[in-house]
Chains A and B, each alone.
Chain A
Amino acid sequence: MRVGIPHFGNVHVAIGAVADRLGAIRGKDIIIPPPMTKKTLDLGVKYSPTEACLPYKLTLGSLIEACELGADTLIQARGTGICRLGYYARGQELMLHDLGYDARFLTLDISHHKFANLLRLMKDITNDTRGNKMWLGEVISAFFFGIAKLIVLDRMEKVLYRVRARELDRGMANLVYKEAVEATNDALSVREVRKIAREYTGRLNKIPQNPRADPVKVSIVGEIYVVIEPFANMDIEMELGKLGVEVERTMTLSRWVKYSLFLNYLGINEWRKVHKLAGPYLDHDVGGDGWESVGEKVLRAQEGYDGVVHLAPFTCMPEIVAQNIMASTREDIPVLSVACDEQMGKQGMLTRIEAFVDLLEFRRRKRDGRKVCNAG
């Protein structure tokens, strides 16, 4: 069995780690498709329903690439929910069969009993691959190794956001972070992962920075796939960083894993505060991440952020509800809504965020009666 996965942020690092621990060989037992490119998108667009949303098209493209590399078992998320995600696996399976790939779909139900489903999925795969029964403890240990990598990467990303907005030599921080991802991907033990984290965080912090910089702060909210996968949002975080903007985003993979797989079972809801703040405008779930987007806008306004960038796939239902409501909340904070789809052009996006950042700086000057010191 050769397992293929679609790309989603740094998920491939975690899955690679789990596979290593379970004795699977990368490229043979587990197939991680090449990083997403224009080709992935074109493949996805060509074989998707026209009006499907961008995450559907991108994951389909990614899975086709995995199939081309010989994957025969594909993993896709599933859920009985309000959003289109519930039908990704079915639609994509139908399309891949039409294309002649004889791939089996293993779906991961992320709406109910997530943790049990995940362990069961991992156990099924390993049992099939190795031919012998796997002890559950081994699976769990491998799983935590994968999570450790995710946590480390997300922590380094937070440092990256801070440094990127202040560095004197534009682009240094990104290079270091990219190296860090590579190194983490190759690490073989938790100790090694920790060492890498220390080393690269140190290197990030040592990058020469402008001590007087006071960058505008922008929060990124929206639909989880386009927020986390840089290819889907045209690297908007990096582009904002290049303009000297400090980016912050709540939604990260490690946070999702931490809460959805563990703490939610104990009755801890990571979004409780956000939902409460959204209350006056929207007081119930509308599927996807719509409710959270509205609440986070209110939260960021109270925390003194300068602006919010709202990312959503084109025609995403929950985010359209959020967008309609966000525009008329009392909290006064500019929101830039970006609809991500295959028609999006890099230059067009750059122009929009430049104008947005100009607006934020202008507002700041007006508020403080001083000039914003922009790094670089």
Chain B
Amino acid sequence: MVKVCIPRALLYYQYYPAWKTFFERLGAEVIISPPTNKTILNLGVSRAVADTCLPVKLFFGHVMSMMGKCDYIFAPAVTSLGNKAYNCSKIIGLPDMTRALIPECPAILGPEINLDKGRYHFYRNIYDLGRYFTSNPFKIKKAVEESWRSNLAYQGKMSSEGLTPVEAIDIMCHGRQEPDSGPAPSLSLAIAVIGHPYVIGDDYLSHRLIHLLESMGVKVLVPEMVPEGTLYDAAKRLVGTPHWSFETDIIGAGEYYMEEGVDGVIDLSVFGCGPDSMMVNFVQHRAKELKIPFLHLSVDEHTSDGGLLTRVEAFLDMIKWREKICV
């Protein structure tokens, strides 16, 4: 059986259920790299140019950790998801960078997904991708349809049940049990954590920020819990038609949750993230207007658990203190 490796980094958190379905329907075995750890980080850092942002370095680390264990590495270049909005250059150049930096890695499946170039271009690329596994076009078509359905199910699960991407993937793909919806613990604060799912979802990168907040009795809201159309509209209200596909979710969520009246917003971004550096500025400005506490957390290779904890604690204390005074 052909083994396809999906590195547990970057777009894994957005599309894993869809990709898994697609490859499995084509008769391939899908394996994912282990959760991020220090070794994987060091592997990635050793290859990439120093200025590269941390999630991309981690991607290289994940690829290197899977060397010799699979036949193909899946690293798509997701250029555009339509609406004249593009993605960050590093995501567009991902297969090319992987090929250049890790010459010894197994064959890379790097289709270009560019919905801006029209349907034909997209279908053609997907078909070419499927041809690696089967020569039967109907089988590919069926795989694509099922993959699309599982993507919708994944998104629906997150927005209807209020799950984070990692929880939803655990339930859908790894057969973990759904958490008991027993008596909900009394959560005093609702805080929106905005940021790329590959930063928030990666326990090593985010220093388990979500668990940390939950253990402090905070209800955490992430962008994926809101349907995509709502996010797009909210982003449009804030900056007009967005140019970056993935930023739409982040600033849209910021705007949406602030309008809903959350107690605070935490932006978790990595150092050197180009799109975030511009877009979060607009959310921050809006938070100032609405007088909602806003915390910008920037993580990199050198961020420590302790430093992050102190800042989050101080932020929560500030919110509680503020509410006491206002009431």
Contact = CB atoms under 8 A, between A and B. Distances in A.
A binds B: yes
A286 interface: yes
B122 to A, nearest CB: 14
Interface string A38-70: 000000000001111100100000000000000
Contacts of A52: 277-278, 281
Nearest to B101: A324
A2 to B, nearest CB: 26
A288 interface: yes
Given A82-B87, A87-B279, A325-B97, A315 B103 contact: no
Interface string B37-70: 0000000000011011100000000000000000
A227 interface: no
A315 B278 contact: no
Contacts of A98: 285
A286 B282 contact: no
B273 interface: yes
A328 interface: yes
A288 B278 contact: no
A290 interface: yes
Contacts of B52: 320, 324
B77 interface: yes
Contact of A317 (B88, B101, B112): B88
Nearest to B281: A49
A229 to B, nearest CB: 20
A339 interface: yes
Interface in B261-275: 271-275
B31 interface: no
B96 interface: yes
A325 B243 contact: no
B90 interface: yes
B302 to A, nearest CB: 15
Contacts, number: 116
Nearest to A321: B93
Interface string B80-108: 00001111111011001101110100000
Nearest to A312: B51
A99 interface: no
Contact of A51 (B84, B97, B240, B273): B273
A82 B100 contact: no
Contacts of B85: 80
B79 interface: yes
Contacts of B273: 51
A290 B89 contact: yes
B239 interface: yes
Given A51-B271, A287-B86, A323 B79 contact: no
A112 B101 CA distance: 34
A84 B92 contact: no
Interface in A310-338: 314-318, 320-321, 323-325, 327-329, 337
A81 interface: yes
A320 B87 contact: no
A28 interface: no
A55 to B, nearest CB: 12
A55 B241 CA distance: 23
**What range describes how many residues of A lie at the interface?**
35 or more
A317 B272 CA distance: 9
B285 A324 contact: no
Given A281-B96, A288-B89, A328-B100, A323 B49 contact: yes
A51 B89 contact: no
A122 to B, nearest CB: 24
Given A282-B93, A282-B96, A321-B96, A51 B86 contact: no
B274 A84 contact: yes
Contacts of B278: 49, 52, 56, 84, 87, 91
A175 interface: no
A284 interface: yes
A81 B84 CA distance: 8
Given A49-B277, A52-B278, A84-B277, A317 B89 contact: yes
Interface string B14-29: 0000000000000000
B178 to A, nearest CB: 39
Contacts of B53: 315, 320
Contact of A284 (B90, B92, B97, B281): B92
Which interface residue of B87, B90, B276, B282 has the most chain A CB atoms within 10 A?
Answer: B90
Given A82-B86, A339-B51, A53 B274 contact: yes
A284 B277 CA distance: 25
Contacts of A329: 100
B194 to A, nearest CB: 15
Contacts of A80: 84-86, 243
A325 B94 CA distance: 10
Given A87-B243, A325-B97, A320 B49 contact: yes
A84 B290 CA distance: 26
B182 to A, nearest CB: 43
15 contacts: A52-B277, A53-B274, A81-B86, A83-B89, A83-B274, A84-B274, A84-B278, A285-B92, A286-B92, A315-B277, A317-B275, A321-B93, A323-B51, A324-B100, A325-B96
The 9 A-B residue pairs with the shortest CB-CB distance in the complex, in nearest-first order: A51-B277, A321-B93, A317-B89, A317-B274, A286-B89, A325-B100, A318-B89, A286-B93, A86-B243
Given A84-B274, A315-B51, A320-B53, 6 more contacts: A82-B87, A90-B282, A91-B278, A324-B48, A325-B96, A339-B51
Interface of B: 48-49, 51-53, 77, 79, 84-90, 92-93, 96-97, 99-101, 103, 112, 239-240, 243, 271-282, 285, 298
